[in-house]
Amino acid sequence: MVYTVTVDGVKRDMTAEEAAQRQKDEDVWNSKSVKRKLDRIKTMRLKRLKDTDYLALGDVTMPENIKTWRQQLRDLPQDNTTEASYDLLLEVEGIFPNRKYKHAIWSKP
């Protein structure tokens, strides 16, 4: 594969050493794809749990549907979750800034 690089507005082919390093960097990036997806899921889960923590205060009665939803969030991701499951959880519809996640777990009941 021939990679090109632009330096100061001028395109040129990468040297063999540069191309080898680029391929190595891409391989490392791709090998961590699952971890990046899992990190994104955990971040989204934590945000939703924090946003509803006030419902767990002693003077507030938490509705059952919220209790169930929060438990489902805490159960994410499960040990048997695959990369395909991560893709389903992270699937979006629409375009920025009106983008939203399709999976029902991300919507507060």
What does the pLDDT look like over 99-108, one tens digit per residue?
899 999 999 8
Residue 13 contacts residue 22 (beta carbons within 8 Å): no
pLDDT of residue 79: 59
Using DSSP's 3-state secondary structure scheme, residue 6 falls into strand
Q: Are residues 49 and 59 in the same domain?
A: yes
Using DSSP's 3-state secondary structure scheme, residue 101 falls into strand
Side-chain-side CA neighbours of 101 within 13 Å: the count stands at 15
Q: What's this model's pTM, rounded to 2 decimal places?
A: 0.73
pLDDT of residue 53: 92
pLDDT of residue 65: 94
Q: Are residues 42 and 89 in the same domain?
A: yes
Q: Are residues 24 and 52 in the same domain?
A: no
Cα separation, 50 vs 69, in Å, equals 13
Q: Are residues 41 and 67 in the same domain?
A: yes
**Domain encompassing residue 12:** 1-31
Cα separation, 86 vs 105, in Å, equals 12
Residue 22 contacts residue 29 (beta carbons within 8 Å): no
